[in-house]
């Protein structure tokens, strides 16, 4: 695949680098995406499951879906795309990874400066006390899992209609407003407010590169768009950092 001179120059001159990732970067690790052919939303009525109302109505059903996803994700490993992002973080003093993913594969690949906009499937939150804890049991012993205080635990994940963690979205806005290079990887760019971050970066003067398996609503707006697999394209960009 040809990498343009503009992309090479933007990467070589970059000082403040931001990556924004979505489910597509984990696809080659075996994690189903949300909106693809065999995507999660298709098989599991996920729009109806990933909401606070669904959880209130039937916490057992919602937890069965998450338990199924946790069991699927647990044995999986980061792929070359995750690893490139983790290695770029080592090379750049001003770096941030903003992910919509909840699978924890970026952290498994060694990413540290990672903001999880939509939470993490390996953490639970008490519906009474609000405290968040790691919960790695897979499969879950009890469905739904209960807090010691007697209340039901929920996945520490942002559902549709729920606000994103203030610190996560605030720091993301601040970062994209000052970055000089943003690389958007593996997202259909439809879920807000994450999908607005590339435009904010572009308007603030950053060079924005998209790496995705298909065209998206931001493809016309970005400076360069590479169609293909993240695990194959990101290694081609790595050598310019």
124 binds ligand BV8 (CB under 6 A): no
| Binding of ligand BV8 by 191 (CB under 6 A) | yes
Alpha-carbon distance of 84 to 196, in angstroms, equals 24
Neighbours of 218 (CB within 10 A): 22
What is the Cα Rg of the chain in Å?
18
Q: Say whether 118 is catalytic.
A: yes
Q: Which stretch binds ligand BV8 (CB under 6 A): 7-15, 29-37, 104-112, 145-153?
A: 29-37
Contact pick of 78, 104, 186, 198 for ligand BV8 (by CB under 6 A): 186
Select from 37, 163, 166, 167 the one that contacts ligand BV8 (CB under 6 A): 163
Q: ∠170-175-181 over CA atoms, to 5°?
A: 150
CA-closest candidate to residue 75, choices 44, 30, 120: 30
**Tokens at residue 216, please?**
């998206």
> According to the binding rule CB under 6 A, does residue 175 interact with ligand BV8?
no
82 scored as a contact of ligand BV8 (CB under 6 A): no
Cβ 13 to ligand BV8 shortest distance, Å: 25
Of positions 52, 139, 193, 205, contacts ligand BV8 by CB under 6 A: 193
Euclidean distance between CA atoms 194 and 230, whole angstroms: 19
Does residue 212 touch ligand BV8 according to CB under 6 A? yes
* Min CB(210)–ligand BV8 separation in Å: 10
Q: Taking phi first (over 0 means left), then psi (-120 to 50 degrees means alpha), and beta for anything else, what does residue 186 get?
A: left
* Rounded distance between C-alpha atoms, residue 50 and residue 228, angstroms: 28
Q: What is the set of active-site residues?
A: 118
* Footprint of ligand BV8 (CB under 6 A): 22-24, 27-28, 33-36, 39, 50, 100-102, 118, 157-164, 186-188, 190-193, 212-214, 216, 229-230
């Amino acid at each position: 695949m040809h990498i343009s001179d503009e992309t090479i120059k933007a990467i070589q001159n970059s000082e403040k680098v931001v990556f924004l990732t979505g489910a597509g970067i984990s696809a080659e690790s075996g994690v189903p995406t949300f909106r693809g052919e065999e995507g999660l939303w298709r098989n599991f009525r996920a729009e109806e499951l990933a909401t606070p109302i669904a959880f209130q109505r039937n916490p057992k059903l919602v937890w069965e879906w998450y338990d199924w996803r946790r069991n699927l994700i647990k044995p999986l490993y980061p792929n070359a795309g995750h690893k490139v992002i983790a290695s770029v973080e080592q090379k750049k003093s001003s770096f941030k990874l903003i992910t919509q993913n909840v699978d924890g594969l970026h952290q498994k690949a060694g990413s540290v400066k990672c903001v999880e906009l939509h939470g993490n499937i390996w953490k639970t939150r008490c519906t009474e006390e609000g405290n968040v804890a790691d919960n790695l049991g897979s499969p879950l012993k009890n469905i739904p899992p209960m807090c010691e205080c007697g209340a039901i635990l929920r996945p520490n994940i942002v559902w549709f209609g729920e606000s994103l963690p203030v610190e996560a979205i605030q720091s993301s806005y601040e970062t994209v407003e000052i970055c000089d290079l943003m690389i958007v990887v593996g997202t259909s760019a439809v879920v807000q407010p994450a999908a607005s971050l590339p435009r904010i970066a572009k308007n603030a003067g950053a060079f924005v590169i998209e790496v995705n398996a298909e065209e998206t609503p931001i493809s016309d707006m970005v400076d360069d768009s590479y169609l293909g697999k993240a695990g194959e394209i990101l290694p081609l960009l790595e050598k310019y950092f």
